[in-house]
């Protein structure tokens, strides 16, 4: 069963997302932040389970409609960079809200790991 966040918790998540935009690991490459923002907002809108590499490539990375994620690795590469940036950020900046992207996945917010009380956000 998928857990949902209250409006106040969603605001906390969005505030944390905005704070990450000013973090050194994200301002050096805006692609990472744009992907993270896209993933978080899609999940908060209830569309996280519909996210695919194609949508990220076209909507976020400005690839054309002919984009083929099976032959163009840009989404996998950028997700890997984002994953690393998040891991490094949280090593030196602990937070009650934490965005994570396990390897091999792009769907945000694993409902099985979502703890509504502390509002950690996991990305799959």
Residue 2 lies in a domain: no
Confidence at residue 96, expressed as pLDDT on a 0 to 100 scale:
83
For residue 115, being part of any structural domain is answered with: yes
User: How confident is the model over 45-80, as pLDDT tens digits?
Assistant: 888 777 889 999 999 999 999 999 999 999 999 999
What the block records as the tokens of 34 is 């744009």
Domain count, the chain: 1
Domain interval for residue 46: 7-122
Give the pLDDT confidence of 5-58 residue by residue, as tens digits: 788 888 888 999 988 888 878 875 589 999 999 988 988 888 877 788 999 999
Residue ranges of the alpha helices (H) in the chain? 7-21, 24-27, 30-44, 53-59, 74-92
The residue-averaged pLDDT of 78-93 equals 90
């Amino acid at each position: 069963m998928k857990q949902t966040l209250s409006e106040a918790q969603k605001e906390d998540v969005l505030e944390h997302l905005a704070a990450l935009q000013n973090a050194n690991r994200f301002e050096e490459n805006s692609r990472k932040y744009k992907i993270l923002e896209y993933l978080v907002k899609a999940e908060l809108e209830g569309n996280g389970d519909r996210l695919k590499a194609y949508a990220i490539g076209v909507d976020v990375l400005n690839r054309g409609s002919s984009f083929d994620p099976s032959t163009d690795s840009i989404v996998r590469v950028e997700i890997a960079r984002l994953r690393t940036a998040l891991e490094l950020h949280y090593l030196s900046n602990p937070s009650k809200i934490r965005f994570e992207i396990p390897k091999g996945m792009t769907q945000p917010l694993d409902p099985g790991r979502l703890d509504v009380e502390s509002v950690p956000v996991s990305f799959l």
